[in-house]
């Protein structure tokens, strides 16, 4: 057996192909060409020893592959530096599910949608409000002229009222409250425009109470119509009538039986209420009279029980006493 030694030197030139079309003529190897196409290693090449020209072939192929990858074909347009093509590896790496860029883009789209929704809602609200305003203005009544509004007292109206305690005559008091009476004059909150006075008779078997309230009203912007003093008195007169016909529940008073009175001031009525409490009945007779801008209210009450020290007063007696008192006050006005 011959002893192996160093292989003889070999030229660094690439081997020349034996026939045209041999890929080794260009130093290239087709990727689908089996490795067996290379020429067989000489017997002196031991295991793991690669011919030098094979290394050169591999280096040439790698250079050509890099050149092919780096040089665009004719007609191709390569993207500018810093711009990644869609078909390049990693072009969509940042847009994979769960990536930060995708989440940020999703948040941005949500914020944009929310902004548009709120903007649309705001526009809708503005349009609705504008429509309501236009509709209200269209149906709004024409402003009322205040050229005929009254701010001063007119002829026949009263600025003050007489003293109620002295305006009721002794004859009227003697007939309605015979005996020793007790008089109280509550202080008015309206000055000379109002006068209050109360009388009480406690002489068994009689018990009577007489209350008087006379008030002159002034022109007021709160009054209906032209706001005159007389119109203010008319408004309060109607309120007194309504309160007797339909008393508030807090007063615990029954509805009154109302009758109109004639020949007493400009307008007048009488109202009767029977109050039952703790076995005692009390008849309340109220007479309300209006004379221009003055409203006079007279209330007579006579409690009575089936058995006791006080006797009952007839309703006609209470009504006549209240009417006489209101007549004295209307006469004192003129």
Q: Which residue has the higher pLDDT, 278 or 228?
A: 228
Please tell me the predicted confidence (pLDDT) of residue 81. 47
pLDDT of residue 60: 64
* Residue 25 confidence (pLDDT) above 50: no
Per-residue pLDDT at 91: 47
Percent of the chain with pLDDT over 90: 44
Give the percent of the chain with pLDDT over 70. Answer: 65
Give the pLDDT score at 307.
60
Three-state SS sequence of 79-138: CCCCCCCCCCCCCCHHHCCCCHHHHHHHHHHHHHHHHHHHHHHHHHHHHHHHHHHHHHHH
- The residue among 214 and 128 whose pLDDT is bigger is 214
pLDDT at 174: 94
The confidence score (pLDDT) of residue 99 equals 63
Question: Is 70 exceeded by the pLDDT of residue 3?
Answer: no
Please say if the pLDDT value at position 23 is more than 90: no
Which residue has better confidence, 294 or 68?
Answer: 294
- pTM confidence score: 0.57
pLDDT of residue 64: 65
**Residue 280: pLDDT over 50:** yes
Which residue do the tokens 């349009």 mark?
A: 127
Query: What's the pLDDT at 106?
Result: 79
Among the ranges given (118-122, 268-272, 329-333), the one the predictor scored with the smallest mean pLDDT = 118-122
Q: With a cut of 80, say whether residue 140 has pLDDT above it.
A: no
How high is the pLDDT of residue 77?
46
pLDDT for 80: 47
Mean pLDDT of the chain: 77
**More reliable by pLDDT, 154 or 63:** 154
- Residue 56 has what pLDDT? 56
pLDDT value of position 79: 47
Domain residue ranges of the chain, discontinuous segments joined by +: 164-333
Residue range 34-73, pLDDT digits in tens: 454 445 555 544 554 455 545 555 566 666 665 555 544 4
Confidence tier at 219 by pLDDT (50, 70, 90): very high
Question: What is the per-residue pLDDT for 2?
Answer: 46
Find which of 32-41, 75-84, 219-228 is predicted with most confidence, using mean pLDDT: 219-228
pLDDT of 128 higher than 50: yes
What is the model's pLDDT at position 82?
45
Question: pLDDT at residue 31 above 50?
Answer: no
The dotted CATH code for 164-333 is 3.40.1000
Q: Tell me, what's the pLDDT at 141?
A: 44
Rounded Cα–Cα distance for residues 186 and 77 (Å):
110
Q: What average pLDDT does range 26-31 have in this prediction?
A: 48
């Amino acid at each position: 057996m011959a002893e192996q030694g160093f292989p003889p030197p070999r030229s660094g030139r690439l081997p020349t192909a034996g026939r045209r079309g041999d890929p080794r003529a260009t130093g290239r190897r087709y990727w689908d060409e089996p490795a067996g196409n290379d020429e067989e290693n000489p017997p002196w090449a031991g295991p793991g020893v690669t011919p030098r020209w094979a290394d050169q072939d591999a280096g040439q192929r790698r250079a050509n592959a890099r050149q092919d990858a780096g040089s665009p074909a004719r007609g191709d347009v390569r993207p500018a530096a810093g711009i990644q093509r869609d078909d390049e590896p990693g072009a969509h790496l940042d847009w994979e599910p769960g990536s930060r860029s995708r989440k940020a883009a999703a948040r941005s789209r949500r914020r944009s949608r929310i902004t548009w929704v709120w903007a649309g809602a705001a526009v809708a609200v503005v349009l609705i409000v504008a429509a309501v305003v236009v509709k209200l203005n269209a149906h709004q009544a024409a402003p009322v002229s205040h050229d005929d509004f009254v701010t001063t007292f007119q002829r026949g109206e009263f600025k003050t009222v007489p003293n109620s305690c002295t305006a009721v005559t002794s004859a009227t008091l003697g007939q309605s409250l015979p005996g020793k009476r007790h008089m109280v004059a509550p202080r008015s909150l309206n000055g000379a425009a109002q006068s209050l006075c109360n009388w009480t008779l406690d002489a068994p078997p009689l018990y009577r109470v007489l209350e008087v309230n006379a008030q002159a009203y002034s022109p007021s912007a709160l009054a209906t119509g032209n706001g005159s003093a007389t119109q203010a008195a008319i408004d309060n007169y109607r309120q007194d009538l309504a309160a007797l016909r339909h008393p508030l529940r807090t007063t615990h008073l029954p509805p009154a039986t109302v009758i109109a009175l004639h020949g007493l001031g400009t307008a007048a009525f009488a109202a009767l209420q029977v109050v039952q409490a703790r076995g005692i009945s009390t008849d309340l007779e109220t007479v309300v009279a209006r004379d221009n801008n003055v409203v006079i209210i007279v209330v007579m009450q006579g409690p009575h029980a089936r058995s006791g020290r006080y006797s009952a007063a007839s309703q006609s007696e209470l009504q006549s006493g209240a009417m006489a008192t209101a007549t004295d006050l209307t006469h004192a006005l003129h």
